[in-house]
Structure formats: structure tokens, C-alpha cells
Amino acid sequence: MKHLKTLQCIGDVAKSGSIRKSAERLSITPSALTRKIQDFEAELGTSIFERMPQGMRLNPAGELVLRHIRDQLSDFDRLRSQIADLSGVRRGHVSIAASQAFAHGLIPDEIASYRAHHPLVSFTVLVRDHMHAVEAVSSFDADVALVIAPPPAPEFQPLLVLFQPLCALMSADHPLAASQTVRLRDCLRHPIAMPGPSLAIRHLLQAAIVRAALPVNTVIESDSFEVLRSYAGGGEVISFQIRAGIPQGSGNLIAREIDQRDMPPTQLVLGQLRGRSLSVAASKFVDQISNSLHSQYGGG
């Protein structure tokens, strides 16, 4: 256990780049933290940090050590989770990186359902765009990620892939609400609440708009889907979201699928770091959310 504490300290300094910041977070003195690192380096036979005026930075040996630390801590969490399961009481912690589209409905609902059966399991939810969600998995900040159209990354292993239609969000009395599917060109004749450039949906929309050479009357742009939904709920303004990202009970807001000739379905991906063994708690949560997504939105 003492060895694991040292590994945790080194991992924290690698992340913060500062002895002082890490010491404050770990509730120890900077001198004690420095001694821990120096003792580890002496035992290893090489330094793992470059001491720089602006802080601490891992050297190549340190990068190898950091990967070892992440593997060790992950394996220890999985061991604790397995031991807890032997007693019939599931314990543990699950960290999820999720696209903002799922942060206000799907993820909270799935966590509540899981904890109803396993109240001793805790969760961390990191709201990240598609690129940074994959990075969170790669850096061991998250066990799994649920993202829209993730970028190609060999270290990211998909566990579930669904194909989701893009929907136009509008008020129930909008002129286009009578149709079950809508054309993109018809949507763009109305004022648009446009997803911000950090969101995957924006890039998908932008590509379709460029292909169609259509003008856009953007009246509001935001990186918050909550803001976009609220604005689209009144008047003739339209916003956009994939089907699985639309919370249940959205009041006066309705969704109409965009014709696939204009916008083909996009990928919703649940994935983890390739080669990483998840804890029992994380693995069971993956099973639950996979089954839930399959039953609600079908496979792909």
C-alpha cells in the first residue's frame, strides 16, 4: 500500500507539473513530497522528472513510469472491486467521459439506475467533446467514454457503436413540426441556434451545409446544448441534436429527423482504452448502458 501511495504522488505531480500544487492537493508538505520522489528515483536508479523553472516535467524514463503507475493503480482498483464482489456487495468507482449531448439526460439516468442496485459505487462524469473524451480515456482520467463521432485513435477500443440520425429541434407549433422527417434546406430557411465549434455535431452540420451550398441565418451560437434547446423551444428557431442526446420530457420541444439524403446517421461510440482491464463496477456499468442504448436506439 505504501508503494501505491508513492505512485499516486508521482502521478499527481506528473499531471500538475508542480510540487507545491500536488502537495496541497495531497495534504502533505512540499519537502515530504520531494523526498518521496527522490527516494523512488534512487530506488529506480534514474531520474524521472526534469526540474525546470516553471515546474516539473516527465523525462522519457518518467513517461514509461507514468504508464506503469496508471496500469498499477487501475489493476488495484479492479482488484478491490473484485474482492468487494466476493462479499456480495459491489463497491468501486467509475469515471466516464461523455459528450455534452449525454450529460443532461442519458448519463445521469443510467447512473441513477445503476446506483439503485449498487449504492456503494460512486461516479465521476467528465463532460468532454469528442476529441478530449478520447484523450481522457488514454490518460486514465476516465474508464470509458461515450462520444459522438470520435476521431480515429488506435488506442481507443469501441465497445458499442450505434448509428444515430441527426434531428432538428423545434417548438411543437413550428411550421415544420407536421412532418416526420425534414430536409436540411427547409430547416435553414428558419433562424438557427447553431452548436458551437467545439461540438462534433457542428462539424457534421458544417460539412452538410457546405456540400449543399446553403445560406445560414444563425441567430445564436453556443457550446451548451442546454442553451440551444431552451432557445429552440420558442418561436421559429431550429437547433440540432442526435436522437440519443435529446433528454426525455423536453417540454414544448419536439424532434424531427433530418432526411438521410442530407445528413447520414452519425456514430455514437462507447469505448475504453485498448488493452485496459476495467474494474467490476465499470465493466457492469458498461454492460448496463450498452443494453439500455441497444433497447432504446437499436444496434449498428
Domain ranges across the chain: 2-67, 90-162+267-297, 166-264
What number is the average pLDDT over the span 20-31? Answer: 87
Q: Which of 36-50, 66-80, 95-109 has the lowest mean pLDDT?
A: 66-80
- Compute the mean pLDDT over every residue in the chain, rounded to the nearest whole number: 87
User: Which of 290 and 22 is assigned the larger pLDDT?
Assistant: 290
Single out the residue of 43, 9, 276 nearest to residue 143, CA to CA: 276
Q: Does domain 90-162+267-297 have CATH number 3.10.20.580?
A: no
**DSSP-derived pairing of the beta strands 92-98 and 144-148:** parallel
CB-CB neighbours of 268 under 10 Å: 26
Highest mean pLDDT among 16-20, 60-64, 232-236, 291-295: 291-295
Q: Rounded CA gap, 214 and 70, in Å?
A: 48
Per-residue pLDDT, averaged over 247-276, amounts to: 88
Instruction: Give the pLDDT of residue 110.
Output: 95
- Side-chain-side CA neighbours of 210 within 13 Å: the count stands at 6
The pLDDT of residue 300 is: 43
Q: Does domain 166-264 have CATH number 3.40.50.300?
A: no
pLDDT at position 90, please?
62
Neighbours of 92 (CB within 10 A): 25
Q: Do domains 2-67 and 90-162+267-297 have the same CATH topology?
A: no
Residue with cell string 457503436: 161
169's CB contacts (< 8 A; 6+ apart) are 228, 229, 232, 238, 239, 240, 241, 246, 253, 254, 255
Pairing assessment for the beta strands 92-98 and 49-52 based on DSSP bridges: unpaired
Contact between 5 and 22 under an 8 Å Cβ cutoff? The reply is: no
**pLDDT of 197-255, one tens digit each?**
988 899 899 999 998 888 999 999 999 988 998 888 777 899 999 988 888 766 678 99
The alpha carbon of 217 is separated from its chain's Cα centroid by a whole number of angstroms, namely 30
pTM over 0.75: no
- Taking the alpha carbons at both ends of the chain, their separation in whole angstroms is 44
pLDDT digits (tens, 9 = 90+) for 166-188: 999 999 889 999 988 999 999 99
CB atoms under 10 Å from CB of 80, counted, come to 16
Predicted local confidence at residue 212, as pLDDT: 84
Q: What is the model's pLDDT at position 86?
A: 54
Fold for domain 2-67? Arc Repressor Mutant, subunit A (1.10.10)
82 vs 274, higher pLDDT: 274
